[in-house]
Structure 1
Amino acid sequence: MRKTRFILPFALAAFFFLVAGCRQENTPTDKDKAPTTVYFGGDILTMEGDSPQYVEAVVVRDGNIEFAGASSEAMEVAGPGHKMMNLEGKTMLPGFLDAHSHYISSLSVANQLNLYPPPSGPGKDVPSILEALKRFKSENSIPDGVLIQAYGYDDTVMPGGRLLNRDDLDEALPDNPVLVGHVSMHGAVLNSKAMEHWNIGADTETPPGGIIVRKPGTREPWGLIMETAFLPIFGSLPQPTSDQEVAWTTAAHRMYAENGITTAHEGATHIQDLLLMDRATKAGANLIDVVAYPFITDLDTILKRFPVEQWGMYRDHFKIGGVKITIDGSPQGRTAAFTTPYLTGGPGGEQDWKGELTFPQELINTFVKQVYDLGVPLNLHANGDAAVDAFLEAHEAAAAGNPSKDRNVTLIHAQFTRKDHLPKYAQYKITPSFYTLHTYYFSDAHIANRGREQAEYLSPMRDAIDLGIKPTNHTDFVVAPLDQPFMLWSAVNRVSRSGEVIGADQRVSPYEGLQAMTINVAHQYQEEDLKGSIAAGKLADLVILDKNPLKVDPDAIKDIQVVETIKEGETVFIKK
């Protein structure tokens, strides 16, 4: 634990010194009570209520918050034998709750090459990507024939529209299969050896809802494979060995904890992923909570191994939370489904291209009804406005007679929500989990692909809140980096890479932005009684920041640092 330094005003410091001095000579008289920790000396923002509320001190005992309030009363509650932790002017909040990411990918990205474009990585253009790949192989002494994986390739920022293709990868790394993950996580660019490994060639038919970009004038795949065409590849990517599972899991948990996250989200769980997480859980590898959402196509198989009666309950920091359905692609990959055509055509040069639903409407209806009949929460991915329409149609069909019942439905991304969609979200008790990071990372692409009017209304958090909806916000990691202060900054400022404000009327206050990553996410998870705010009886899941997001200049929010992350009273990350 870190050393305590007292920097309180004199009177309060003297009071704490007196009590702390007494505790060193006393031992607990109540043997049934575990020792307590008292946090004090900084801004403690509880996230209770619709306006900022602060307390002077928090008492933590046995992994739970026993008291939050006045310092004098905190000392009485803490009793003898307590530890005192001075925040030294820093800010304490409830731990950040991850509304949506792809946790399972975090187990492997530590062993992959980061190709995000600047400022998050080196992938500014094709030559930079190729040079980084060659250096990665050399520095890591990767033998010929071994698969090389990278993530974060963003084709929307490639200068002059010069995109990465299989010929580039063949020239740079002719002796290794190479898979460069698209930033959307909905596809990848493969070289020839990777194509051979996954049996993809000129005779491979493009499946419904899939994309296989062909070399101009031929049927030869040219590298980029997306959506349903990519699913078999994604599902067969290498998994950690039994000896690696615990180490990779713990490393993944540390990655989330470094960003102040005390509950992580696994957003599209296949059977092999779920079995891996189950093994790692039984081995005691988990540091924070993880909630998994089995993918609809694996649901029947998963139910045979993990009956629905076992869902919704944590076991050693892991639970199955519900089901995930994906019904369209990504707007930056031009595979999201819209009611009007893309201004730039399709990813394979298609004309009058509106994108496509991942599944036919009838099958979407069937999937949604299957989940509703199970009585478990539903996370449904929909980006384009046509996908949102498709889900609402499926909801109304599956929920016939009672569409306004709270079925714990979260609409993941909901980026191109139209204004007429929002009243239905409110009526049907659907929680939109928005993705305001796109205003920075991809808004320039959205303006080019969809036009300014649609891009300006991206993730309309302001209008949703004004209708009484409690939206959440997410990173969709590894599509965007895990960086919770930057995510908050994006919701408050809505500034693009080029410095342009995107949808100023959809900005939210810093407090509203924090609600979308704490208490609102607790509601999304049906865990309001345990998480999301600092209150007596809740878990001691806490994060300490070097500055208060409510008290710095809005543009400085992105520079705030996570100092410490506490899970059930135990420090799981501390900044050195």
Structure 2
Amino acid sequence: VSHQSGHMGAFNSRALEALGVDGHTQPPQGGMIAVKDGEPTGYMEENAFLQYIQKAPMPSPEAFLEAYRKAQKLYASYGVTTVQEGMMSAPLGPLYQLLLHSGILELDLVAYLDMEAGDELKRQFADHIGKYKDHMKIGGYKMFLDGSPQGRTAWLREPYLPVEEGDAGPAGETTAPSPDCGYPTLTDAAVKSNIMRAERDQMQLLAHCNGDAACEQYLREYAAALAELPDHTPGDIRPVMIHAQLLGLDQLERVKALGIIPSFFLAHVYHWGDIHLKNLGQKRAERISPAHSALEHGIRFTLHQDAPVIRPDMMETVWCAVNRMTRNGGILGTEERISVADALKAVTINGAYQYFEEDKKGSIAPGKLADFVILEQNPLEADSMDLRKIRVLATIKEGTCIYRADGQGTGEVR
């Protein structure tokens, strides 16, 4: 059973037996295997969970393709024309080859490679590195620096607030025992090595950082790496800080100086904001995804949903960025609200920039691809509280309508 975040889960006794996990099994660095009375409980976090869940049976080719068809239709229904594979590991390589050969790709797919399998995957997808072929390109590398703030595994500079074991949030999430500040998944040396590899290969690097301690590690090691690479300039590979939820205001100047693009999971404010209040307290929770402060520092950022953690509902994310309302109806961080126009930029032109595609996508202009969405109402004129109610009427990809809300069919747009 996997937690919705993908950072933790539980294995039953038959699974533990098949995996050879017992009370003496040592977890990998950056992971945890829960043990009680000398026996594993089945609960695992981060690198331990990721290591063992990859040994579960893969889906059949037919099941994979059908799942992709459904996912692609879902993305299109939300007006999305470019999607991301957040981390392609070695076992996913054959499945993506199958996807390419199937010819069902309509949306552009940008894939980021697990650094451990990067060389082999680059060999397999040599024709896709940095450029689209059959709607897929390899965008760069991906690494994880920490875990989940709602799961209390994100790495913080200051401890989480104490909560009673088993305390449940409004969406039913339970809090498991964990270190007070969470923990890192990679050593400083590994982070620096990955950064230097990405720079030398001129491959974009995405780093998953939720907690401010993980953000600090990324910033510190990036600066150290560039100091040893005098021919490389900050921002040359447009490095990305994925989630950046607890990015500190004191860290923003270095984010800008290093040319890092924060990609905020801002919908967390609504979906888990009330849990963040319990885990972090009012002051820190209000600074989740500091989009307005980033704007004040002249930092270009994007917004995402981390699907399938939540659905890829762009208009809900715009609503969250503008209103910052939690499930319980509270406002979390009034000073970090941004305008509708800035929220729309974050999911259009800034997204195109993040993918090195600002000359082809992100705005409607002569010479760019005809990738755009038709909404039932102008979000710049709508009441801010109604933004997430605005429906996508149609989605157009390169001049072809690939989704219509009325179900009347798709085809070339003239």
The verdict on a shared fold, with TM-score over 0.5 as the criterion, is yes
Deviation sequence 1:363-395 (CA, Å, 0-9, x none): 111111111111111111111111011001110
Contact residue 250 and residue 287 of structure 1 kept, 8 A: no
1:411-490 matched pairs, under 5 angstroms: 411-490=241-320
Report SS of the residue matched to 1:324.
strand
- Counterpart of 1:299 in structure 2: which amino acid? G
- Counterpart of 1:264 in structure 2: which amino acid? V
Counterpart position of 2:405? 575
Counterpart position of 1:300? 119
Counterpart position of 1:279? 98
Report SS of the residue matched to 1:543.
strand
Q: How far off is 1:246 after superposition?
A: 3.5
CA 1:393–1:379: 2 relative to 1, 3 Å: same
Report SS of the residue matched to 1:556.
helix
- Counterpart of 1:241 in structure 2: which amino acid? S
Counterpart position of 1:18? none
Report SS of the residue matched to 2:249.
coil
1:331 aligns with 2:145: no
Counterpart position of 2:49? 230
1:260 aligns with 2:99: no
Q: How far off is 1:249 after superposition?
A: 2.5
Counterpart position of 1:168? none
Please say which structure displays the higher CA radius of gyration. 1
Give me the whole-angstrom Cα distance separating, in 2, the residues matched to 1:516 and 1:305.
32
Q: How far off is 1:408 after superposition?
A: 1.1
Give me the whole-angstrom Cα distance separating, in 2, the residues matched to 1:477 and 1:236.
22
Contact residue 461 and residue 507 of structure 1 kept, 8 A: yes
Give me the whole-angstrom Cα distance separating, in 2, the residues matched to 1:238 and 1:485.
36
Q: How far off is 1:219 after superposition?
A: 2.9
Give me the whole-angstrom Cα distance separating, in 2, the residues matched to 1:259 and 1:238.
31
Picking from 385, 391, 414, the partner of 1:561 is 391
Give me the whole-angstrom Cα distance separating, in 2, the residues matched to 1:287 and 1:455.
39
CA 1:213–1:509: 2 relative to 1, 3 Å: same
Report SS of the residue matched to 1:301.
helix
1:493-504 matched pairs, under 5 angstroms: 493-504=323-334
Picking from 335, 360, 363, the partner of 2:187 is 360
Contact residue 406 and residue 428 of structure 1 kept, 8 A: no
Picking from 193, 207, 212, the partner of 2:33 is 212
1:497-512 matched pairs, under 5 angstroms: 497-512=327-342
Counterpart position of 2:171? none
Report SS of the residue matched to 2:198.
helix
Q: How far off is 1:348 after superposition?
A: 5.0
- Counterpart of 2:314 in structure 1: which amino acid? Q
Give me the whole-angstrom Cα distance separating, in 2, the residues matched to 1:190 and 1:272.
20
Q: How far off is 1:227 after superposition?
A: 0.3
1:375 aligns with 2:202: yes
Contact residue 81 and residue 107 of structure 2 kept, 8 A: yes
Deviation sequence 1:408-427 (CA, Å, 0-9, x none): 11110111011111111111
Give me the whole-angstrom Cα distance separating, in 1, the residues matched to 2:178 and 2:101.
48
Deviation sequence 1:39-95 (CA, Å, 0-9, x none): xxxxxxxxxxxxxxxxxxxxxxxxxxxxxxxxxxxxxxxxxxxxxxxxxxxxxxxxx
Contact residue 122 and residue 129 of structure 2 kept, 8 A: no
- Counterpart of 1:328 in structure 2: which amino acid? D
Counterpart position of 1:181? 2
Q: How far off is 1:261 after superposition?
A: 0.5
Report SS of the residue matched to 2:61.
coil
Q: How far off is 1:405 after superposition?
A: 4.5
Report SS of the residue matched to 1:573.
strand
Q: Show structure 2 runs of 5+ residues with no match.
A: 166-174, 407-414
Picking from 277, 281, 289, the partner of 2:108 is 289
Counterpart position of 2:409? none
1:349 aligns with 2:201: no
1:525 aligns with 2:355: yes
Q: How far off is 1:310 after superposition?
A: 4.2
Contact residue 146 and residue 210 of structure 2 kept, 8 A: yes
Q: How far off is 1:355 after superposition?
A: 1.2
Give me the whole-angstrom Cα distance separating, in 1, the residues matched to 2:64 and 2:29.
35
Give me the whole-angstrom Cα distance separating, in 1, the residues matched to 2:234 and 2:131.
26
Deviation sequence 1:311-346 (CA, Å, 0-9, x none): 111011111100001111111111111111111279
Counterpart position of 1:153? none
Contact residue 85 and residue 109 of structure 2 kept, 8 A: yes
Counterpart position of 2:11? 190
Give me the whole-angstrom Cα distance separating, in 2, the residues matched to 1:313 and 1:499.
44
1:375-414 matched pairs, under 5 angstroms: 375-400=202-227, 401=230, 404-414=234-244
Report SS of the residue matched to 2:81.
strand
Contact residue 395 and residue 403 of structure 1 kept, 8 A: no
What RMSD in Å do the two structures reach over aligned CA positions? 1.8
Which range moved further: 238-247 or 336-345?
238-247
Give me the whole-angstrom Cα distance separating, in 2, the residues matched to 1:286 and 1:383.
31
Counterpart position of 2:137? 319
Q: How many residues align?
A: 393
Q: Show structure 1 runs of 5+ residues with no match.
A: 1-179
Counterpart position of 1:145? none
- Counterpart of 1:341 in structure 2: which amino acid? P
Contact residue 382 and residue 411 of structure 1 kept, 8 A: yes
Q: How far off is 1:305 after superposition?
A: 2.8
Counterpart position of 2:169? none
Q: How far off is 1:287 after superposition?
A: 1.4
Deviation sequence 1:197-218 (CA, Å, 0-9, x none): 3333323222221122334xx1
Q: How far off is 1:240 after superposition?
A: 3.2
The structure, 1 or 2, with the larger RCO (C-alpha pairs under 8 Å, 6+ apart) is 1
Alignment TM-score, normalising by the size of structure 2: 0.90
Which range moved further: 276-285 or 218-227?
218-227
